[in-house]
Amino acid sequence: MIQRLIQKIESKILTKLFTRWVANEWDMELLQMTGGLISARESEIQSFIDVTNRREIYGFKRYN
């Protein structure tokens, strides 16, 4: 329970620091790389969601 609370607080602090960093960063290559990493992670999470929400269609399999 304490570990979960620490993770939640850490997440909020890191989010605040990240948004502050993005607001103060002027290096386009670094911002594009960061955006690419975020997009890749979003795609990975979306594929996990798609796999878990997949419905199996019954009746089209052939059993020998």
* pLDDT tens readout for residues 4-63: 999 999 999 999 999 999 999 999 999 999 999 999 999 999 999 988 888 777 776 666
Q: In the chain, what are the domain boundaries?
A: 2-52
Select from 13, 11, 32, 8 the least CA-distant residue to 22: 32
Measured on CA atoms in the order 43, 45, 51, 53, is the torsion positive or negative?
negative
CA distance 45 to 30: 23
Residue 52 is predicted with a pLDDT of 86
pTM, to two decimals: 0.67
